[in-house]
Amino acid sequence: MIALGIIIAIILIKYKPMYKVSISGEEIGYVDNKQALEEALKQEITENTNKTVEGITLKEQPEYELKLISRTENTEEETFVEELKDEITVTYKYYEIAVQETVVEKVNTSEEAEELVNEIKKENDSGEINLSVVEKYTQNVEEVDTSDLEVAKVNVEETVQSTIEEIEQQKEEEKKWNALPSINGIKLAVTPIQGKITSRYGVSSSIRKSTHTGLDISAVTGTDIKVVADGTVISAEYSGSYGYLVKVDHGNGVETWYAHTSKMYVKKGDTVKAGDVIAAVGSTGNSTGPHLHLEIRVNGETVNPQEYLYKK
């Protein structure tokens, strides 16, 4: 027994037990145990690509044969990937970092993703920015275009900052929009022209058969006239005492009329946006000088424009 033990000890000093790995009868290399092949492949691919390998799938199952080999024989596993590149399918794992549900960056590990997100949340605790991390898998290494943690952090921070600025700008625009005069739910966003009011709504005059149905604002002939709100042109033609008259329907029963114009730049059926130039100041029709006669009508009835524009 002692002699046998000595023989075994001598053998183990010169040789080591390892599994020879073969696929389709072709020797690939050696591993310490049957579970080591995938781990060896994972480690080598990770080192070579700097990507996180989630799993390895072999097209054919490897065959293992326990052998004693010389301890001086080179059994390094570096050749596995090259030998098996046509036999394996690699599944990579990475993490997407999104700002307001839009993917901004990708990193390799959950630790990197959590560290990045936590740091940025501490710096930007407004509560209006949604930072999220999604675990992703792919077998296409080109999709795993991950960034160094510091690079990713800079890019995400820049996106967060620009998003905060956009949110503040939206708030300011909403504030301005909410402050605009409104009639029947229609926002009057633009003043048609700048000028002096020469005749107010409801006044009587020797040149009119009835009280004034609109507001007169004087301006130089040719001055641009802008439409007060989005709408559709329902008329653009000469209309008796109004002269060249443009009518715009804004919906909800609201219409605006622009009279005495010298030129009309729109026609019936045109769609206009608030601020579009639709005509030029003139003195056509029953007029004593260049000005804009502005009417606002709700369900066919005139209302005082100064309740909404050119306020006293």
| Cα 285 to Cα 213: distance, rounded to the nearest angstrom | 15
Average pLDDT over residues 126-145: 89
Taking the C-alpha atoms of residue 29 and residue 83, their distance in angstroms, rounded to an integer, is: 9
Is residue 35 assigned to a domain? yes
Give yes or no: residues 276 and 257 share one domain: yes
Tokens linked to 291: 């000005």
Strand partners, 69: 16
Residue 81 pLDDT class (50, 70, 90 cuts): low
- Total domain count, the chain: 3
Shared domain for 114 and 53, answered yes or no, is: no
Q: Measured on CA atoms in the order 125, 130, 133, 139, is the torsion positive or negative?
A: negative
pLDDT at 12: 58
Closest CA to 197 of 217, 222, 170: 217
Confidence band for 90, pLDDT divided at 50, 70 and 90 = confident
17 and 57 both lie in a single domain: yes
Query: Which percentage of the chain shows pLDDT scores above 90?
Result: 60
Indicate whether 299 belongs to any domain. Answer: yes
**Whole-number Å distance between alpha carbons of 29 and 14:** 19
- pLDDT confidence of residue 285: 95
Band (23; pLDDT cuts 50, 70, 90): confident
Asked whether residue 192 falls in the same domain as residue 303, the answer is yes
* pLDDT beyond 70 at 79: no
Identify whether residues 199 and 298 lie together within a single domain.
Answer: yes
Q: Is residue 249 part of a domain?
A: yes
Residue 3 in any domain: the answer is no
Look at residue 20 in the predicted model and tell me its pLDDT.
83
pLDDT at 227: 98
Question: Which residue among 143, 159, 175 closes a domain?
Answer: 159
Is 45 among the domain residues? yes
Q: Do 142 and 220 fall within a single domain?
A: no
Query: Domain for residue 179, yes or no?
Result: no
Domain that holds residue 144: 93-159
Check whether residue 108 and residue 79 sit in a common domain.
no
Burial zone of 305 (CB within 10 Å; 0-12 exposed, 13-18 middle, 19+ buried)? buried
Give dist(CA 139, CA 148) in Å, integer: 21
Best mean pLDDT range from 23-27, 35-39, 251-255: 251-255
Question: Residue 269 has which token pair?
Answer: 């059926």
Q: What pLDDT, on a 0 to 100 scale, did the predictor assign at position 112?
A: 93
E strands, the chain, are 15-23, 26-31, 52-58, 63-70, 88-99, 102-107, 131-138, 182-183, 186-187, 196-199, 215-218, 224-226, 231-238, 244-251, 254-261, 263-264, 271-272, 277-280, 291-298, 301-303
Is there a single domain that holds both residue 206 and residue 255? yes
What are 143-153's pLDDT values in tens digits? 889 999 999 99
Task: Give phi and psi for 151, each to the nearest 5.
Answer: -65, -45
Residue with the bigger pLDDT between 250 and 140: it is: 250
pLDDT tens digits for range 212-237: 999 999 999 999 999 999 999 999 99
Q: Which comes out higher in pLDDT, residue 59 or 173?
A: 173
The reported pLDDT for the residue numbered 262 is 98
Looking up residue 251, the CATH number of its domain turns out to be 2.70.70.10
Choosing from 69, 86, 103, the residue where a domain stops is 86
Residue 5 lies in a domain: no
pLDDT of residue 75: 59
Cα separation, 251 vs 114, in Å, equals: 51
The pLDDT score that the predictor gives to residue 128 is 83
Is 209 in the same domain as 237? yes
In this structure, the answer to whether residues 207 and 292 fall within a common structural domain is: yes
Work out the average pLDDT over 165-177. 93
Quick one: pLDDT at residue 260?
97
Residue 52's nearest CA partner among 104, 113, 98 is: 113
* 234 and 263 part of one domain: yes
pLDDT for residue 167 is more than 70: yes
Where among 32, 51, 86 does a domain terminate?
A: 86
Same domain, 273 and 193: yes
Residue range 101-116, pLDDT digits in tens = 999 999 999 999 999 9
**In the prediction, which pLDDT does 60 show?**
80
Distance CA 81, CA 38 (A): 10
Residue of 74 and 309 predicted with greater confidence: 309
Give the sign of the dihedral formed by CA 116, CA 158, CA 141, CA 83. negative
Return the pLDDT at 184. Answer: 95
Residues 256-309 pLDDT 10s:
999 999 999 999 999 999 999 999 999 999 998 999 999 999 999 999 999 999
In a domain, 173, yes or no: no
Mean pLDDT value across the chain: 88
